Copies of this chain bind each other. A is one copy, B any other.
Amino acid sequence: MSVDRTQVLRTAAALLSRKATATMDEVARAAGIGRATLHRHFAGRDALVRALEQMCIEEAEAALDTARIEEGPADEAVRRLVAASEPAAPLLAFLVTENQLFEGEGQNEGWARLDARLVALFRRGQEEGTFRIDLSPAWLCEAFYGLIGSGAWAVADGRVAANDFSYMIAELLLGGARRSVEK
């Protein structure tokens, strides 16, 4: 039976997001295949991480597309985006912390594209008057990644119910913890 590459990557992401130092053998076992087979599909650990990176970028861009972040009020767009990003959350949680490994050398230009689209979304919200202007788009972008990661981690650890993932992240990112008369 031929190996399902996507399934292997997905399993690897789930494992590595919890244990970043997992061995190639552990990854293989988790995916239900042999280490040799894993090696036939991904030349090495580096290639595996690169493949995960590529998959993550594709899923994140797909989330940006399906959320149609250019349409409607910015806060609604963010809400849609968080919901659409949920499937890619474990992947993001892993790569956001792992990316620093590739210091210096060529970062995948996909991250720059993602950042640009996210920053543009927050900037649009500011220009529309929906978002406050004293928090820079770059920081809101970072906070978005961070909260997605925290949410994925909290859900994986059972500290937050999976059903609440989208709501908790979007509400905190948009409205914050303070009680507001707008609510």
| Chain A residues within CB distance 8 Å of chain B | 18-21, 75, 78, 97, 100-101, 103, 122, 125, 129-132, 134-136, 138-140, 142-143, 145-147, 149-151, 153-154, 159-160, 164, 167-168, 171-183
Contacts and interface: CB of A to CB of B under 8 A. Distances in A.
Nearest to A161: B136
A124 B70 CA distance: 39
A182 B179 CA distance: 10
A21 B18 contact: no
Contact of A21 (B101, B122, B174, B177): B101
A177 B140 contact: yes
A100 B103 CA distance: 23
Contacts of A142: 150-151, 153-154, 159-160
B172 A143 contact: yes
6 contacts: A20-B101, A130-B178, A132-B175, A175-B175, A175-B178, A180-B180
A146 B177 CA distance: 14
Number of copies: 2
A25 B176 CA distance: 42
Contact of A139 (B139, B149, B164, B175): B164
A135 B154 CA distance: 13
A85 to B, nearest CB: 15
Nearest to A180: B180
Contacts of A143: 147, 150, 168, 172, 177
A172 B124 CA distance: 18
B132 A160 contact: no
B146 A178 contact: no
Given A19-B101, A143-B147, A181-B182, A173 B176 contact: yes
